[in-house]
Amino acid sequence: MAFVRQSWYVAAWADEIKPGEKLARTLLGEPVLLYRGAESGQVAALEDRCCHRGLPLSHGCVRGDQVQCGYHGLVFDARGQCTMVPGQALIPPAAKVKRYVVAEQDHLVWIWMGDEARADAAQIPRHPWHDDPAWEWVKDRYPVAANYQLITDNLMDLTHVGYVHGRTIGGTPQAHSEAETHTVPTDLGVRVERWMMDSVPPPAYTAAAKFNTALVDRWMEIDFFTPATVRIHTGAVDAGSGAREGKREGGFAFIGFNTMTPESETTSHYFWSGANKRQPGAPDGRERLRQSLEVTFGEDKVVVEAQQVSLSRKPEPLGMIASDAGMMRARRLVAARIEQEQKP
């Protein structure tokens, strides 16, 4: 399986792993046991395979800050070092399992899937909106039966919004296809900027915000962080009120966080969150936001899973159209990284 390996990926939402609990997950084709120490509260990640007879450690249990295999009781610490062999004083030096470097940040557990010495937490894309009281947000993880890059493609090319999401965030398909679009390189990836001036606000926008004009000026900024994170900042304000000059107060604003961690070549963990700017004096809008995003991402899931079935049957040939520019840029960045890593 060709994946970018020298990289951080999201392994879990932080609250998926409570103190003293464990979680088994396959990441980039590797079985990983995640657990949170009952005393330290720290998340650790080990290869989910006991070095004694190979039983997955996830069959065992967390003991304090260590994990005990469920077969013959060997105990391993967060570094993967065996610290106890029942019935013998000597611990064989080779008794250890691979550990992965993890970093908990912005409510997410990130895992480094490459060489340990190269792990640098400063490279993790930040998402401060998860701790900003001016925003209300909801999140989830979807298992998706599709290659992770099909989800990236979907997020990078929002012309699909008019066709796939007519019931929620769509608006008119033509306005999306004709939106003014720029693609610009960034430090860690690429950004696609889109403007839809004088356009009809979609249902999710009018439900969440008040506009004083029938038409709105609508923006979408899509930031791709190599290899598999996409941040989407969208919003709209009254038409002609200066959004392009930076006046984005009032109106509607949304920040979407999306990251896709490959499980296998054809299955993915899709972690997403969506945040709306709180409207002054408005009641808690999270339930409505959740419902709307579940419908929206459910619509995308149907598309990419059907695409995977179709592409597994017949991968080539595929066509290209103008709106593919952003997603092709993202795909080229990933391909270049994989090529670079595979050089001897």
Please give the helix or strand (H or E) that residue 289 lies within, else none.
Answer: helix 286-313
12 binds, among ligand FES, Fe ion, none (CB under 5 to 8 A by kind): none
Bond prior to 317 in cis (omega within 30° of 0)? yes
300 binds, among Fe ion, ligand FES, none (CB under 5 to 8 A by kind): Fe ion
52 binds, among ligand FES, Fe ion, none (CB under 5 to 8 A by kind): ligand FES
Q: Which is nearer to Fe ion, 16 or 221 (CB)?
A: 221
CA 199 to chain centre: 29
196 binds, among Fe ion, ligand FES, none (CB under 5 to 8 A by kind): none
Please compute Rg for the chain using Cα positions: 22
- In the complex, the residues that contact ligand FES under the rule CB under 6 A are 50, 52-53, 55, 69, 71-74
Closest contact distance (angstroms) between CB of 155 and Fe ion is: 7
Q: Which is nearer to ligand FES, 95 or 108 (CB)?
A: 95
Cβ(145)–Cβ(304) below 8 Å: no
Binding flag, residue 238, Fe ion (CB under 5 A): no
71 binds, among ligand FES, Fe ion, none (CB under 5 to 8 A by kind): ligand FES
Query: Candidates 92-100, 271-279, 295-303, 306-314 — which segment interacts with Fe ion by CB under 5 A?
Result: 295-303
Q: Which is nearer to ligand FES, 50 or 155 (CB)?
A: 50
Here the tokens at position 275 are: 């945040």
Spatial CB neighbours of 301, under 8 Å, sequence gap ≥ 6: 142, 144, 270
Spatial CB neighbours of 275, under 8 Å, sequence gap ≥ 6: 129, 130, 135, 136, 137, 254, 255, 256, 257
Bond prior to 227 in cis (omega within 30° of 0)? yes
Q: Which is nearer to ligand FES, 60 or 235 (CB)?
A: 60
Cβ(213)–Cβ(239) below 8 Å: yes
Cβ(56)–Cβ(45) below 8 Å: no
- CA-CA distance, 14 to 266, in Å (whole number)? 25
28 binds, among Fe ion, ligand FES, none (CB under 5 to 8 A by kind): none
C-alpha to C-alpha distances, 100 to 109, 116, 173, nearest whole angstrom = 12, 7, 45
Closest contact distance (angstroms) between CB of 173 and ligand FES is: 56
Spatial CB neighbours of 53, under 8 Å, sequence gap ≥ 6: 71, 72
- How many residues sit close enough to Fe ion to count as binding (CB under 5 A)? 1
Cβ-closest position to Fe ion: 300
Q: Which is nearer to ligand FES, 13 or 71 (CB)?
A: 71
Among 136, 157, 238, 300, binds Fe ion (CB under 5 A): 300
Closest contact distance (angstroms) between CB of 55 and ligand FES is: 4
Q: Which is nearer to ligand FES, 95 or 113 (CB)?
A: 95
Query: Candidates 43-51, 187-195, 259-267, 293-301 — which segment interacts with Fe ion by CB under 5 A?
Result: 293-301
Q: Which residues bind Fe ion (CB under 5 A)?
A: 300
